[in-house]
């Protein structure tokens, strides 16, 4: 904490102090969401790569499905750990935006997994569409958080 001035400050100095406090507050808010933004972008990247790997595994050797599953699990753990460890503060409305972004990703993920393993198994068009959808949803969530 700073010491209280011994004598009253004038209006110009008070304005300077308020401006400085405003700049510090803006800087703190700007840096508050980077772990969540990185997590959403990483989630989009790892889930998209999982779709590509699953498509290739289904075409060539289904016994290897454990390999992309383990790799994705490791990266999910890393992303979530980094987000939890480095989150110091969050912006107003973060919980609602985070729930919407993860909810949208989760719905897209369920459709992707069901589509790639049951409905359109081994179909390149579906793998491409799923990758585009997962990329769009995760980028939308990160972009939205960055702009708030």
Domain ranges of the chain: 32-147
Q: Residue 113 CB: number of other CB atoms within 10 A? A: 15
Q: What's the pLDDT tens digit per position in 41-85?
A: 898 999 999 999 999 988 888 888 899 999 999 999 998 888 888
Q: What's the pLDDT tens digit per position in 11-50?
A: 777 677 666 766 655 555 555 578 788 888 898 999 999 9
The whole-model pTM stands at 0.72
């Amino acid at each position: 904490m700073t010491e209280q001035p011994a004598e009253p400050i004038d209006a110009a100095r008070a304005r300077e102090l308020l401006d400085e406090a405003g700049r510090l507050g803006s800087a703190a808010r700007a840096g508050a969401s980077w772990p969540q933004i990185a997590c959403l972008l990483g989630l989009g990247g790892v889930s998209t790569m999982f779709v590509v790997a699953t498509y290739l595994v289904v075409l060539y050797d289904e016994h290897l499905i454990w390999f992309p599953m383990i790799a994705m699990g490791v990266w999910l753990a890393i992303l979530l750990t980094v987000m939890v460890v480095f989150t110091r503060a969050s912006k107003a409305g973060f919980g609602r935006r985070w729930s919407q972004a993860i909810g949208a990703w989760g719905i897209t993920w369920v459709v992707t997994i069901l589509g790639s393993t049951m409905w359109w198994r081994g179909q390149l068009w579906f793998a491409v569409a799923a990758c585009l959808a997962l990329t769009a949803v995760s980028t939308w969530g990160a972009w939205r958080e960055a702009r708030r």
